[in-house]
Amino acid sequence: MNETNSVLVVGGAGYLGCVLVEELLSRGYDVTVFDRLFFGETPLRKFRDRIRLLTGDIRCTSPAIFERASALINLGGLSNDPTAEYNPEANHQMNTVATRTLAEMAKKQGVRRYIFASSCSVYDVGVVDEDRDVLLNEESPVQPRAAYATSKLAGELELMALHDADFAPVILRMGTLFGFSPRMRYDLVVNTFVKDAFTKGCLHLHYGGQMWRPLVDVRDAARAYVAALEAPEAVVSGQIFNIVCENFRISELAFRVREGLQAKGISADIKCAFQYAGIRNYRVSGKKIFQRLNYKPVISVQESVEYMVDQIREHGYTDFDNDRYYNIRWMKLLEQVKQTIDITGTIFDMPSSKPALELTPRRAHA
């Protein structure tokens, strides 16, 4: 029988996942993490002895992962535009197909609540257009174009198709995350600004910083998942919620980041370029989850930046060019290592005797 406070977190070793897991543990939940561990176990180090850790790929798993779960939170899959566009097929398989497969499996195992990490990027309207520059909500029509957003919306539709009296999917469309995490990322806009302040002494704006973006601190985002987990089923079942603290033009965001940096003794200029650079642009309302669940993000950009700087300094996250902090760079590096190991085999141990292999050219990704 499932324990009422037992949660399976798919992707629990990721940027948001490890923050969420710690939040769940602090509230007394029994937590199982299922993760491929692309970034290792280090993000889980603080609480590794208090969780059950299962490793594997969400595209090929088994009902056994639900053994102790009464709820599923799915943060798995590829998590930004560059990784999605690098391998669209893998992106589709992880973010759409596996989303439904996990749901079908959970439903058969009697797991009623499935909380899915979607994205506010499904609202993207592209280049700034005053006629389309409006505040969007969960009822607004969406027509995403990018591979990542398209795969997330498709995952939402797959879940909603399974919604019934025995299965309660909840979809959280996340604003752009920022803030410190033990699985740190410097490829998110606020975090990139902080990294650039440390390394270059300036913050760079593209396209004049005109674009709108909904943002939320990673700790506030973790609280949103807890709110969706603890809410009465009748309130959240089959519902979509935007998770947003505030909408900012990127230009204003840069000034707020600089204010937080200055509080920590870091000076940074703001440099602006106006050429087009593949921007995203959208504004999103977060009122629904406040009205339904009384949830509201509370961490400001300035507060988050100050905390981030403290944690970066305390824990030594100052090797800013390390590929590990950038999703697409890390994935490409792992792929290169895998290709090398396929050829060389073991590094230091004596390999088993094998006949020589003829290597054929590798096909490029789509």
| DSSP secondary structure, 278-330, as one string | -----EE--HHHHHHH-------HHHHHHHHHHHHHHHT---TT-GGGSHHHH
Min mean pLDDT across 215-229, 291-305, 338-352 is at 338-352
Residue 267 lies in a domain: no
Average pLDDT over residues 323-338: 92
Residue 263 lies in a domain: no
Q: What percent of the chain has pLDDT over 70?
A: 91
Please give the residue that has the higher pLDDT: either 232 or 79: 232
Q: Residue 97 has which token pair?
A: 């197909």
Q: Decide: 133 and 173 in contact? Cβ < 8 Å.
A: no
Residues 6+ apart with CB under 8 A from 116: 74, 99, 155, 156, 159, 169, 170, 171, 172
> In this model, does residue 352 exceed pLDDT 80?
no
CB neighbour class for 124 (10 Å; exposed up to 12, middle 13-18, buried from 19): buried
Residue 132 lies in a domain: yes
Min mean pLDDT across 6-20, 133-147, 352-366 is at 352-366
Confidence label for 344 from pLDDT (cuts 50, 70 and 90): confident
Q: Decide: 211 and 128 in contact? Cβ < 8 Å.
A: yes
> In this model, does residue 1 exceed pLDDT 70?
no
Residue 162 lies in a domain: yes
Domain containing 227 equals 6-185+215-246+282-299
Residue 46 lies in a domain: yes
Count how many domains the chain has.
1
Of the candidates 74, 23, 71, 100, the one whose C-alpha atom is nearest the C-alpha of residue 231 is 71
Min mean pLDDT across 93-97, 202-206, 339-343 is at 339-343
Residue 330 lies in a domain: no
- Span 60-95, pLDDT tens digits: 999 999 998 999 999 998 877 888 788 888 888 999
Min mean pLDDT across 134-148, 173-187, 275-289, 343-357 is at 343-357
pLDDT for 343:
83
Alpha helices in 170-230 (DSSP H): 189-200, 218-230
Output the CA angle 180-182-186, nearest 5 degrees.
Answer: 55
pLDDT for 208:
77
Q: Residue 140 has which token pair?
A: 């607004």
Query: What CATH number did the domain enclosing 47 receive?
Result: 3.40.50.720
Residue 74 lies in a domain: yes
- Span 284-308, pLDDT tens digits: 999 999 999 999 999 999 999 999 9
> In this model, does residue 34 exceed pLDDT 70?
yes
3-state secondary structure of 128: coil
Angstrom distance (rounded) from CA 10 to CA 347: 31
Of the candidates 40, 63, 183, the one whose C-alpha atom is nearest the C-alpha of residue 53 is 40
Residue 255 lies in a domain: no
Q: Decide: 330 and 38 in contact? Cβ < 8 Å.
A: yes
